[in-house]
Structure 1
Amino acid sequence: MFFLKIILNLLSLIISVVIKIRNLFFDYRLIKIQKSKIPVISVGNLNIGGTGKTPHVIFLIKLFVDEKNISVISRGYGRIGNKTKKVILKKFNHIEVGDEPLEIKSNFINSKLEVYVSNFRYEGVKLIENEKKCDLIILDDGFQHRYLHRDINILLTLYDKPFYDDRLFPVGKLRENRSYVKRSDIVIVTNCPNNLEKRKRKIIKSNILKYSTSPIFFTSVKYLGFFDKKNKKINNINREKKYLIITGIANPNYIYEYLKKIGLNFEKINYKDHYNFKISDIKEILSLSKKFDYIITSEKDWFRLKHFNKFFNNFDKFLRLKIEIKFTDENQKIYFHSIISKLLSK
């Protein structure tokens, strides 16, 4: 164990040096940074794994969709191929564009929002600029993608695992050293409890301000309830029934805690984040489902599971748990909007 610790620390040191050199190349423009004609907001994080980037992108879109024509660029994690594409719900599935772009697009079917997948984000930008319909671009998971200039850098960090209590990979789960929080224009502490104490808020702010003087906001998850395959809300969830929870997300514990809180009797199967289900998995799920009254999955997982619709045609047990992001204090909403507007006007 002692020698393993030494090896991990050495690897972490080497990675730290490589990251520092890379960032210096960007800082001194030894690597070219492309700039869009359209304002760009990036939403990202320092750590490996989930901090709620996609739900926060959706949250950001909802704040501005009525006043701006927005386009989102995502890498489309987990998809096959790297071609830049515009996401069309009826044309593409998660294998072609990834699950998160589909989730974003499906939340704004009746709006002008466009979603693109592009490994090289500037290719996505050029496609958007050529269409001449957009006045705001949002990057999903763009904090480390420094090849593209952004007008606003929003950094997310988890309430129960903030970056200042973590270390660089492989010792910890950070993709970059804590010091690079200085690139952020706004910091959002995510997955906070609804009744976040002022004392705790003050401690968190104090720790973040050691690394950045950016404005700090706090958000929590609001559970919108359960929806069936036809997107119809189930108003009365039966607590006497048995539920099987299927997830393939970075941190499903928040879902488990919510289901316990509302008194559901459930068992769980968790796959790795962005897991691409195989036919054998689907057959196993269908076999297991015989012991349960319903299967519950997250919205993101549903876009991977629905690829196997032919197996679920006569299967009405599926429920999707929908969420949205909210500020822990609604007074923050006006302040947040004003800061975004001010930064975009520079």
Structure 2
Amino acid sequence: MNLNAIFLRSFRILLLPFSLLYGLAIVVRNFFYNKKIFQSASFNLPVICIGNLSLGGTGKSPMVEYLLELLHDKYATATLSRGYKRKTKGYALANENTNAIDIGDEPMQFHTKFPNVAVAVGEERIVAIPQLLHDKPGIQVIILDDAFQHRAIKAGLNILLTVYDDLYTDDFFFPTGDLRDQKTSAKRADIIVVTKCPLNLSASEKEEIIKQLNLLENQQIFFTAIQYQTPYHIISKNEKPVSLNDEVLLVHGIANPQPLKNYISEISAAYDEVSYSDHHIFSIDDLKDINKKFAKIQSSNKLIITTEKDAVRLLKFKEQLLEIPLYVLPVKPVFLFDSAEAFNNAVIDFVNSFKKDDTETAI
């Protein structure tokens, strides 16, 4: 552990009193919901919630995209997100003129990759869903992105994500830890997905994790790993595999870049990085800094790699990017232990369980 990590951990321990106050507020809030003092609204259509108990990257966006890929050809599908770090407020529905500033980077990513999906944002999801159904009355299923802790809406299917090497059972309330909800809230999940596992996760380690999570009888558990795809140019979309002869400048503004950095180090000759905070809004000066750092790389075999989430925030510099070898690295979750079919069936069965008239969209 380096000195910065030791300092950060020590500093966060000093914040324990704030964590206890925060945790108390969360426990009281959940108590009120559990006792129905605070009411949760249900909608008469399939609502799937993707979320986690902690701050940071657990792989929610790749899981949302996995569900969109699974559902969008079969059902009129919509996603609803908060739209973190967008410059707008309130409800908004993506259209052909929308950009990441309007709706946030992750919703823009969904909108770009799935143009036939209704992509909406709104801080108050209980208000945004009726507006979404008014704008798109044919919607048959809604995917709530990062909404597990938002109990004003009672989703029909709750999918909780937790990272393989940072399980919620090992965490503590923010700011000492990263928990934004209490551990017992995991009992509300119908499905728990352990994300970012090694591809060679053993059956014995799988069983140890299941034992640690202490699932209820009605809960299903799945294990996924990150699978990176072939990079494509941010503008031309031409693909370019990275080889062991290539030197890479990695540009990222994501919550947990370590798996990405590990992967780039494995597939390239060497890499340097330009890192930003999660959901960073890129400026023209940032692009100049990236170009300067890229120019310093001496190899003739060099390229810039960024994430899909970062790419949607860079696209506003379309003209400047035309001649830059900036490639986007797609990612998707792969289910381990041949469990993809079981997961898919659980989701499809849930959606099909709603037999209603298409005009019914009221709470």
Please give the range of the TM-score, normalised by the shorter of the 2 chains: over 0.9
Correspondence for 1:138:
143
Partner of 2:63: 56
AA partner of residue 121 (structure 1): R
Contact 1:182 1:212 in 2 (8 A): no
What is the match of residue 202 of structure 1?
207
Please state how far the C-alpha of 1:60 moved relative to its aligned partner: 1.2
Task: Give per-residue Cα distances to partners, 1:153-210, cap 9 Å, x unaligned.
Answer: 1100001111111111122111112111111111000011111100100000111126
- Other structure's SS at 1:82 match: coil
Q: 1 CA distance for matches of 2:319 and 2:13?
A: 51
On the 8 A contact 1:26/1:146 being kept in 2, the answer is: yes
2:276 to 271, 275, 288: 271
Written as runs of structure 1 = structure 2, the 5 A alignment for 1:242-321 is: 242-292=247-297, 293-313=302-322, 315-321=323-329
Contact between 2:245 and 2:268, CA under 8 Å: does it hold in 1? Answer: no
Describe how 1:13-162 pairs up with structure 2 within 5 A. Answer: 13-88=20-95, 90-109=96-115, 112-130=116-134, 131-162=136-167
Cα distance in 2, alignment partners of residues 335 and 19 from structure 1 = 33
With structure 1 as the length reference, what TM-score do the two structures score?
0.92
State the one-letter code of the partner of 2:92: K
Match of 1:62, SS?
Answer: helix
Shift of 1:294: 1.6
| Helix, strand or coil at the partner of 1:225 | coil
Aligned-pair RMSD on alpha carbons?
2.1
Asked whether the 8 Å contact 2:242–2:268 carries over to 1, the reply is no
Is the contact between residue 195 and residue 223 of structure 2 (CA under 8 Å) also seen in structure 1? yes
Secondary structure of the residue aligned to 1:36 is coil
Paired residues of 2:107 and 2:120 also in contact (CA < 8 A) = yes
Distance in 2 between the 1:81 and 1:192 partners? 36
Q: Is the 8 A contact 1:72 1:140 kept in 2?
A: yes
For residues 227-273 of structure 1, the C-alpha deviation after alignment (integer angstroms, 9 at most, x for no partner) is 01235343443433322110000111111111122133210111111
1:170 maps to 2:179: no
1:3, distance to aligned residue in structure 2 (A):
9.9
Report the Cα distance in structure 1 between the residues aligned to 2:272 and 2:11, rounded to whole angstroms: 35
Mapped to 1, the partners of 2:332 and 2:13 lie a distance apart of 42
C-alpha distance in structure 2 between counterparts of 1:79 and 1:264, whole Å: 36
- What is the CA distance between 1:212 and its match in structure 2? 7.7
Structure 2: how far apart are the matches of 1:306 and 1:3?
39
Whole-Å separation in 2 of the counterparts to 1:339 and 1:52: 19
Unpaired runs of 5+ residues, structure 1, are: none
* Per-residue deviation, residues 296-337 of structure 1 (Å, max 9, x unmatched): 101110011112224334x2311111111110133x122212
Q: TM-score, normalised by structure 2?
A: 0.88
SS at match of 2:330: strand
**SS of residue matched to 2:185:** helix
Residue 35 of structure 1: how far off its partner (Å): 2.2
Match for 2:336 among 314, 321, 328? 328
Q: How many residues align?
A: 341
C-alpha separation between the residues in 2 aligned to 1:333 and 1:239?
31
CA contact 1:226–1:321 (8 Å) conserved in 2? yes
- Label 1:44 to 1:304 Cα distance change in 2 as closer, same or farther (>3 A): same
Whether the 8 Å contact between 2:235 and 2:318 is mirrored in structure 1 is no
Aligned-residue offset at 1:226: 0.9
- Shift in CA distance, 323/231, structure 1 to aligned 2, threshold 3 Å: farther
1:68 deviates by 1.3
Name the aligned partner's letter for residue 86 of structure 1.
L
Structure 2 unaligned blocks of 5 or more: 1-6, 355-363
The answer to whether 1:214 aligns with 2:219 is: yes
Q: Distance in 2 between matches of 1:192 and 1:7?
A: 31
Match in the other structure for 2:359: none
Question: How big is the shift at 1:97?
Answer: 0.7
Aligned-partner Cα distance in 2 for 1:273–1:6:
23
Kept in 2, the 8 Å contact 1:178–1:211? The answer is no
State the alpha-carbon separation in 1 of the partners of residues 295 and 240 from structure 2. 24
Structure 1 counterpart of 2:309, one-letter code: K
SS of equivalent to 1:217: strand
SS of 1:21's equivalent in the other structure is helix
Distance 2:74 2:214 in 1: 32
Asked whether the 8 Å contact 2:88–2:101 carries over to 1, the reply is no
